[in-house]
Structure formats: C-alpha cells, structure tokens
Amino acid sequence: MTTTTMNNYTHQTAPTQFVEANSIRFAYRRFGKTGGVPLVFSQHYIGTMDYWDPTVTDGLARDREVILFNNAGVSSSSGEVPTTFEQMGANAIAFIKALGLKQVDLFGFSIGGMVVQEITLQAPDLVRRLIVDGAGPRGGQGMELIAQATGRLFGAHPHDPPESVWLAVKFSPSAAGQAAGREFLKRTHRRQEGRDPEVNDKVSPAQIEAIGKWGVQQKGASDYLKTIKQPTLVVNGSNDVNIPTVNSFIMQQNMPNAQLIIYPDSNHGAHHQYPELFVEHATLFLNAVTTTKEGCTHG
C-alpha cells in the first residue's frame, strides 16, 4: 500500500485488512499521515473498530498514522477472547509485530486502557508514548466492583434502541452530556460500507472475567506503575461510573512521567463528549519533545 493511498483513507473508507500472528487472524484498518510513529488504538468492552469516534480517529490521523484493530476473538478477528488482560496484551504485541512495526504509540480506552498497560510492561521497547483513558491500575480503588457495575449497567434493563446503553455508560446525565452522546452515536454510523459484525456471546463473559481478575485488591497490586517510564497521558471524565475517576489520579501519581486531564461534567467516555478538545490535547502530547517538565509540551 503506497503512502499516497494510505493518506487518502479515512475512518469511513479505510478497508478492513487481516494479518496472522499467534494463530489468530487479526482484523485491522490503518489510515492517516504515514512516516512517523503509528498510533495503535485498543478498544473498550464489547466494542469493535466501528465503536471508535470518527472525529477522534480522523482528527488524530491528520498528524500520524492511526491503526484500529480487533483483538483476538472480537468481531472480525479469529480466536478466543482471553480471560486476562496479560494475555490480551500479549496478543496485541503479536499483532503489532506482525505488521513489522518497531515502535508505536498506544491509545487504550476502558479495558483497552488496561491492555495498553500490559503491552507496555511486556514490550517496553515497542512503546514510545501511551494514552490511558477511562481506565485504572491493577487492584485500584473500587475496581473490584467493576465487573458487577458492568453487569448492572448493561444488563439491568433493556435499552431501546440497544445502543442507547452507551448514553448511560459513557456520558454525563446532564442535558449537555446526553446531547453530546446522541451526536457521538450518529457519528459512529457514518461508516456504512464494510462495517464490523457485532461481537458474539462469548466476548462479554471473557472480558468481564478479565476485569474481575484485574480488580482484585491485594497489597502492592499497583506497584508496577512505577516501572512504566514512558511519557503517559491519563484521561478521564469527572465522574466515571464504570471505573472510578480516582484511579486516574492514582495512575498519574505513580507513573514517573504521567500527566492527567479530567474533563468537566463527564463520564466514562469523556473523549467522546469533547472529541475536538481531546484531539487537541492528545496531539500536543504525542507531538511533544518531552513531557518531564511543565511547559515542555511543544513539538
């Protein structure tokens, strides 16, 4: 695929491609400005490539190549969903290496935020920078209850249409938050050709089991954060109903080179509620020469 062709693709038009690694056929899409360090996106619970926000993906693709993929067992990728984030991270590393990439930036949202931590721990030389959004550390505060919260949010009562569950899960209950949520849902339908199939019934139980294992409270569970030396941008909403926002503070305080953004009047999907602002902040962070001192965030 030529650079020109890649540059011409967008969230709506990038074809779904496949690569094999670890006996898994990974589905992925890549688009944006080539030549620099690509940004690999790691998705949330039961989400596919079509659950990403085109305003965010296309916005970030203006400055860099963006790679979306389905991890093992999710949607158009083969294999089975592991029941640990460690194995999901290992599968993601195999996928990235199968593309022949030597270094990447990572953006993980929700459970994807746990997966990118694992990728960084297991293959630190592969990762230049990471964005951890709406996530938390192993054994974080209140995280032993996430599996329960997920079941309650998604299974308590039917939503009509079903996708309106995301308005409660990702967006503030305020009028502004819900309006932003409805706009987000519209944007996710922009791509009509070559959409991903919805996940099968095996995905949710496996992912919930992984969430439960990650949330186990034990002494020293989050000590590993101190070993993640890469520049990290931690992002969350002011009141995350899935993964308590305090966990974002815990990560920022314990990662040696992390900065934190909390968006106002927002929930688990703050980057969907403020997509243009998030793209601006993420671009500043990814283009920065250094993030070790305040003020040195210019490319």
**In the predicted structure, residue 86 carries a pLDDT above the cut 90:** yes
pLDDT (tens digit, 9 = 90+) per residue, 151-199? 677 765 556 677 889 999 999 999 999 999 999 999 999 999 999 999 9
CATH number of the domain within which 191 lies: 3.40.50.1820
pTM above 0.85, yes or no: yes
Residues contacting residue 104 through CB under 8 Å, at least 6 positions apart = 37, 38, 39, 40, 67, 96, 126, 127, 128
Asked, for residue 182, whether it belongs to a domain, the answer is: yes
In a domain, 297, yes or no: no
**293 within some domain:** no
Q: Tell me whether residue 157 is in a domain.
A: yes
| Predicted local confidence at residue 6, as pLDDT | 57
* Residue 296 falls inside a structural domain: no
DSSP 219: T
DSSP reduced 3-state for 167? helix
Domain count, the chain: 1
Considering only the C-alpha atoms of the chain, give the largest distance between any 2 of them, rounded to a whole number of Å: 52
Domain containing 200: what range? 3-287
71 falls within a domain? yes
Q: Is residue 232 part of a domain?
A: yes
How many Å apart are CA 291 and CA 295, to the nearest integer?
Answer: 8
Could you read off the pLDDT of 222-262 as tens digits, one per residue? 999 999 999 999 999 999 999 999 999 999 999 999 999 99
Check if the beta carbon of residue 108 is closer than 8 Å to that of residue 234: no
